[in-house]
Every structure is written in structure tokens, then in C-alpha cells.
Amino acid sequence: MEFKEALQKAIEFEQKGRMIYEEAAGKTKNDAVAKLFEYLAEQEKMHEDWIRKYVDDQGIELPENSKEDTKEFFKTTIGAFKEKIALSGDDISAYEQGMQLETESYEYYKEHSEKAEDPTVKAFLKFLMEQEQIHYDLLEQSKDYLSDPDLFFQRHEGWMFEG
């Protein structure tokens, strides 16, 4: 596969992700879930823009602190999740669909990164892999929190039971 064709496929992944997240945000009745999916839709659009820029000029400067931006988003929205919220079947399906897409995108970028010979191309694809992993982790943690907040805090916050 020609590298530009691979990047076009990557654009399609990002567009599909954006559509999934926009649809999920529009369907959920939970404001916190909607904000998460709106954020992920914006991220997918940003990734698409980065890929298009890379295709156009064959050399994109990778933005810094993107992982920190995602962590900051999760911290600021966790306050909205403080009440125990039951996920509807549609919300759970949207989380699972998003996680599957992020996994597929990660695997796709990984495969092409391993084939790439140009160090700039390798770095760009590895950057996209990191982005997909960040999104997967965000979806997984949010789903865990909404499904069972007590278990979430035990796993991620190190809560201990006192006797």
C-alpha cells in the first residue's frame, strides 16, 4: 500500500470516529457522557487535520502536551461524574464501539509504523498510536467509572477499605 493511501485510510478512521462520537453525544441523556463524546469528536477532527497537513506538506511538527490535555480534560469532567450514574444500553454500546475503533486505529498505525522507513513518518505514526491509546484509556476509564464508581476509585485512585 502506498503511504499516501495509508494516510487516506487513517483519515477515514478519524472521520468514522468523529461520526461515532458525535452520534453518541447527541443520543445520550447524560450530560457528562455527552461532554466526553463531544471532546473525543473534537480530538478526531484535530487528528484528521494533522494527517491532512502531513499529506499536504510531508512534514508536520507534532504538538506537545497532547497527553496532558487529555488528562486535564478527564480531571475537569470527573467532577460532573460525582453522582452514581447508570449507563443506558446505548451509552455502553457507544463506549464499546469507540474502544473498538480506537483499538483498530492503533493497530493500523502500528502496522504502518513498523513498515515505514522514513524516521519522520515513523514518528508521526507513533504519535497517532499514542493518541489512539490515550482515547482508548479515556473511554475505558470513563466507562468503568460510570458503570461502578466505587470499583473505579479502588482501581485508579488507590482507595483502601478501613475496618
In this structure, what DSSP letter does residue 80 have? G
Phi, psi of 95 (to 5 degrees): -60, -50
Q: Give the whole-angstrom CA distance, residue 131 versus residue 133.
A: 5
Q: Which three cell numbers stand for residue 63?
A: 504538538
> In 3D, which of 21, 138, 29 has the Cα closest to residue 73?
138
Q: Give the whole-angstrom CA distance, residue 39 versus residue 148.
A: 22
Share of the chain above pLDDT 90, in %: 14
Q: Which residues have a Cβ under 8 Å from the Cβ of 151 and sit 6 or more positions away? A: 144
Q: What is the mean pLDDT of residues 39-49?
A: 92
CATH code of the domain made up of 3-58+86-156: 1.20.1260.10
Q: Give the whole-angstrom CA distance, residue 162 versus residue 96.
A: 34
Q: Which three cell numbers stand for residue 30?
A: 447524560
Q: What is the mean pLDDT of the chain?
A: 75
User: What is the secondary structure of 115-143 as a DSSP string?
Assistant: H--SHHHHHHHHHHHHHHHHHHHHHHHHH
Q: Which residues have a Cβ under 8 Å from the Cβ of 148 and sit 6 or more positions away? A: none
Whole-prediction pTM value? Answer: 0.71
| Lowest mean pLDDT, pick from 2-6, 27-31, 67-71 | 67-71
Residue 148, pLDDT score: 73
For 138, counting Cβ atoms within 10 Å of its Cβ (0-12 exposed, 13-18 middle, 19+ buried), the class is buried
Q: Which three cell numbers stand for residue 113?
A: 509504523
**What pLDDT digit, counting tens, does each position of 143-159 carry?**
877 777 676 666 666 55
Beta carbons of 30 and 91 less than 8 angstroms apart: yes
Question: Domain spans of the chain?
Answer: 3-58+86-156
pLDDT at 85 over 70: no
